[in-house]
Each structure stands twice: as C-alpha cells, then as structure tokens.
Amino acid sequence: MNNRLETIVDLKKYPIQDLNSPLIKELIKKCKSDLDQFSCATIPNFILPKSLKIMNTELEKQLDEVYMSKQSINAYLYSKDDPSLPKDHPKRIFMDRYNGYLNSDVFAKDSEMKFLYEQDELLKFVSACLGISPIYRWADPLACHAYNVMKPGGVLPWHFDSCEFTLSFMIQKPEKGGIFEYCPNIREPGNENLEEVKKVLDGDREVKKVLDGDRKRVRQLELEPGDLQIFKGRFTLHRVTKIEGNHSRYLCIPAYVLDPWRVNTPEHSKAIYGKVLPIHIERNKPRSDGLAD
Ligand SMILES: [Fe+2]
C-alpha cells in the first residue's frame, strides 16, 4: 500500500491502487463510456480535503513565479497570422487570452501534486478509464503537471491541447465565471474538421450580437474543488469563460501522451510557459497524427 497516496486520493471511495476491485471496475466503466461519448469524464471529490489545502498552499507560496501571458491567439495556439490562408480560415481567427502557469520545473521536490503525478497507480487508472494503453507521462519539463492560474479577468479562448490527455484537478473556484466549455471529438487524427471548428468559433463571436445557434456542439462542465476531470484535449475544442469576481481560479493539469519522446513546440513553450529549453528545440519534429500543433 502506498502510504502517501492514501493521504491524497480518497482511496476508500476510489481504490485506484486495485484495478480489480468492483468499485473501481464500475467507475472505469462509467468513465470509459463518458470519455467515448463526450471525450470527458469527471470524478467528484477525488482529492481529500486535507491534500487539497496542501496543493492550494504550495501553489500560493509560488504565485510570484507564475508566468502570466496576455495575447491574441488562434485555436491552434499561434499568435502569428498566416496571410497565405483564406481570410475566414479558423487559423486566422484570433481571440483574447489571459492565463498563467506555474511551470512543472519549479515545483518543490516534495510537492503534493508532483508526487501524485508520478504515481503509477494514477497513470494505470487513467489508462484504464481511457481504454488506451500504453499512455505515458509527458516528457515536457515545463508543462507535464503545471498549475494553471486564472486571475480575475482571465480568459482561455477556444483551443486544442498539444498533449492527447489532460487531467484537471480543481483547486480553487472563482466567485463567478471560469466555466469549462467543450465540443467533444470535433477533430481526430488525419481530420481537422475545419468547417465544424469554424462554426463553433463563429458561433461564439455571433453570440454577443444575436443568438447562440452555433453552440449546438458546446457542452459545459462545472468542477468543484477536489474533483478530477479526465479529458481528451487534443481532439476536443475547449475553452474557459472569463473569471469574474475577486478570486483566482486554480487548477492543476497533469497530462498524459501517446508518445513518450515528444514535448511542446518551441513556439508553444515560449508563448504559454514563457521559455524554451534545449529539449523543445531538439525534439521539434512534425507530428505523426497530421493535426495542427
Ligand atoms: Fe487546454
């Protein structure tokens, strides 16, 4: 039995260390069905309240090290326009983004979240929920288990992730706003489905003026502190609405990937995590799934 793990995860309710227990088998079945259908599954109160407090404190201790970025960005996380594309191409639709990360490389050695991410029990449980094996921890030293900070006024516009699978642990909710919205399975390897992506992006701009007729594909999720969300972020267009009120929204977003070698592109790393390391340059090769990255 993993002694520290039982102080972090509610193993009585969710015995992830024993994938053969009837409780976990049932949970895996439900998560797999939700992930297949909606590309997203949630497990309430996964993290114990005491551990949640430790996570909150470890993040707040390092808030001055959070890299905040404010920019105009497209759904593929680029801020540079490509005038060679048609004017209405989704890559030429830019949206406001104001968001921050405490990068994984500055976490304390004994960090609660870092410890949790490094446990095989968690990896094997997530792999079973996805019905995909093997999956790997992300080799990106900045992004692999970063804390996400959205301050009042913060907003995360529609985008796809670079990593295939993301966990979200809600640490602190804002007073209002900060709602996660997503369009399940909108793209897949070899198929960008640009027309549907464009409809969502256009629908969002239209909504300010007229109706939200193009929000048919959009689903909303409200997470409570302690909840775990498992999510297929590379294939699912998603966003977080503007943070209202005086409190920041804190989340931790550990990630898993299909390729244990790959990391973020140098452009993404610079824009989102504020720096580029030699590994981002050495491993900057085209993706095999044919999707924009
Ligand atoms: Fe994302």
Confidence of residue 264 (pLDDT cuts 50, 70, 90): very high
Q: Cα separation of 21 and 5, whole Å? A: 17
Calculate how far, in angstroms, residue 161's C-alpha sits from the geometric centre of ligand 1: 5
Reference 164, options 193, 189, 181, 198; nearest CA is 189
pLDDT of residue 1: 58
pLDDT of residue 140: 98
Calculate how far, in angstroms, residue 162's C-alpha sits from the geometric centre of ligand 1: 8
Calculate how far, in angstroms, residue 19's C-alpha sits from the geometric centre of ligand 1: 28
How many C-alpha atoms does 197 have within 13 Å on its Cβ side? 26
Confidence of residue 210 (pLDDT cuts 50, 70, 90): very low
pLDDT of residue 292: 85
Confidence of residue 214 (pLDDT cuts 50, 70, 90): low
Q: pLDDT tens across 231-241, in order?
A: 999 999 999 99
Calculate how far, in angstroms, residue 269's C-alpha sits from the geometric centre of ligand 1: 14
Q: Cα separation of 216 and 219, whole Å? A: 8
Calculate how far, in angstroms, residue 73's C-alpha sits from the geometric centre of ligand 1: 13
Calculate how far, in angstroms, residue 179's C-alpha sits from the geometric centre of ligand 1: 13
Calculate how far, in angstroms, residue 7's C-alpha sits from the geometric centre of ligand 1: 28
pLDDT of residue 230: 97
Residue 99 predicted with pLDDT over 90: yes
pLDDT of residue 212: 46
pLDDT of residue 42: 97
pLDDT of residue 199: 86
Q: pLDDT tens across 154-167, in order?
A: 999 999 999 999 99
Phi, psi of 134, rounded to the nearest 5 degrees? -85, 155
Calculate how far, in angstroms, residue 209's C-alpha sits from the geometric centre of ligand 1: 26
The two tokens of residue 222 are 């409200």
Helix intervals (H) in the chain: 5-8, 22-38, 49-61, 112-117, 120-130, 194-207, 266-268, 278-282
The two tokens of residue 215 are 């929000």
pLDDT of residue 207: 46
- pTM equals 0.93
Confidence of residue 102 (pLDDT cuts 50, 70, 90): very high
Cβ neighbour number for residue 271 with a 10 Å cutoff: 19
Which one is predicted more confidently, 11 or 77?
11
Percent of the chain exceeding pLDDT 90 equals 78
Phi, psi of 161, rounded to the nearest 5 degrees? -85, 160
Identify whether 134 is preceded by a cis peptide bond (ω within 30 of 0).
yes
Calculate how far, in angstroms, residue 139's C-alpha sits from the geometric centre of ligand 1: 17
Cα-Cα-Cα-Cα dihedral sign, residues 159, 150, 32, 111: positive
Calculate how far, in angstroms, residue 236's C-alpha sits from the geometric centre of ligand 1: 9
Q: pLDDT tens across 28-87, in order?
A: 999 999 999 999 999 999 999 999 999 999 999 999 999 999 999 998 888 889 999 988
Residues 6+ apart with CB under 8 A from 12: none
Residues 6+ apart with CB under 8 A from 163: 138, 140, 143, 233, 234, 255, 256, 257
Calculate how far, in angstroms, residue 24's C-alpha sits from the geometric centre of ligand 1: 27
Q: Cα separation of 289 and 3, whole Å? A: 39
What are the distances in angstroms from CA 6 to CA 59, 115, 151? 21, 12, 31
Computed over every residue of the chain, the mean pLDDT equals 92
Reference 237, options 213, 259, 255, 219; nearest CA is 219
| Sequence letter at residue 53 | K
Calculate how far, in angstroms, residue 110's C-alpha sits from the geometric centre of ligand 1: 26
Reference 139, options 16, 278, 2, 251; nearest CA is 278
Q: pLDDT tens across 222-233, in order?
A: 899 999 999 999
